[in-house]
Amino acid sequence: MLIKLIPKQIPIFWDTIKYGCKNADALHQEHYQPYFNELLHALLSDKAQCFVRLDEKRIIIGLLVTRFVGNKITGEKELHLQSAYSFQSEGQKIWEKDFGVILDIALKTNCTKITFETSNPQLASLGESVGCKEVSRSYVYPVGG
Amino acid sequence: MSDNIDQDIKDYIDTKIEGLYLSLTEIVGNAMAHQAFCNKVNAKFYKDHPEFKDKKEVVASVVEMIDGENPAIEYDQLLEKAIPRIRERLATTNSMDVSSITTNPNRDFGNGEV
């Protein structure tokens, strides 16, 4: 079961959200403060949305942070999956079911695309399994230092 | 005959363009007056509420949210309406830890009640 937390619930589950996002985005400690500060404000303003997946005992076993993003070039609205974290290994069927919920939200909010970026091959593979297509690759050249 | 029609069309377009140019000064003037009004209201707001001065990102976030909920509201009324929500938001964010991670967070959703 995938549930969207309302802004008032964010403080209650803030430790779990931080834990999930830190692991999903491989955050370094020196970046915690700016990252979580921005995320907290975004979640409290509903600029970012947090979904949790519960097991039968109502324990949070998965977490997803999304944002609605406007494409400045095309003017289209996209549903961006910012961070996804699972506290336990999940099967393909559960992922498909969760993706179905996200797709439904994207359709109802007039989004033309669902987007995500990942360096995790497993997540890329899950995305491809539901029909997501790779559109770009990101490269970095460290300058100086 | 055709030349006359072309000239008429040209004259018509020129008149419209001239009208548009003339109205631009009014549009820009209005925009500048509105901006000046907003700056004045903002300055008064931060003077009346110096505790918000270092929290401009929180103020902006709450004001934007209230603006979305009340699209027809006047700017000065919008700021007034935002004050209790900004205080509430600051109280919440000040009590939240953003610089460390709990290694074993409580994941019991319970009934999810606030």
Name the amino acid, one letter, at B44: K
pLDDT above 90: percentage of residues in chain B = 48
- pLDDT tens for B23-41 read 998 999 999 998 999 899 8
The pLDDT of residue B36: 92
Task: With residue A32 as reference, give the H or E element that holds it.
Answer: helix A32-44
Candidates 3.40.630.30, 3.40.50.300, 1.20.1250.20, 3.10.20.30; correct CATH number of A2-129?
Answer: 3.40.630.30
Choose the mutation target among A12, A17, A43, A52 for the interface with B, i.e. most B CBs under 10 Å: A12
Do B54 and B17 belong to one domain?
no
Token pair belonging to A33: 């403060």
- pLDDT tens for A69-126 read 998 888 999 999 999 999 988 778 888 899 999 999 999 999 999 999 988 888 899 9
Q: Are strands A77-86 and A60-70 parallel, antiparallel or unpaired?
A: antiparallel
Do B29 and B65 belong to one domain?
no
Range of B55's domain? 49-95
Do B55 and B26 belong to one domain?
no
Taking 50 as the pLDDT cut, the residues of chain B under it are none
CB contact under 8 A, B99 and A87: no
Q: How many helices (H) and strands (E) does chain B have?
A: 3, 0
The pLDDT of residue A16: 96
- B110 assigned to some structural domain: no
Measured in degrees and rounded to the nearest 5, phi and psi for residue A69 equal -120, 135
Contacts of B99 (CB under 8 A, 6+ apart): A32, A33, A36
- B85 assigned to some structural domain: yes
Count of pairs with CB atoms under 8 A, one residue in A, one in B: 73
Query: Model pTM?
Result: 0.78
Indicate the residue of A11, A16, A40 with minimum beta-carbon distance to B107: A16
Position A145 confidence tier, pLDDT thresholds 50, 70, 90: low
Task: State the ipTM, two decimals.
Answer: 0.78
Contacts of A16 (CB under 8 A, 6+ apart): A52, A60, A63, B105, B106, B107
Per the prediction, chain B carries an average pLDDT of: 89
**Counted domains in chain B:** 2
Q: Does residue A66 surpass a pLDDT of 90?
A: yes
Do B55 and B91 belong to one domain?
yes
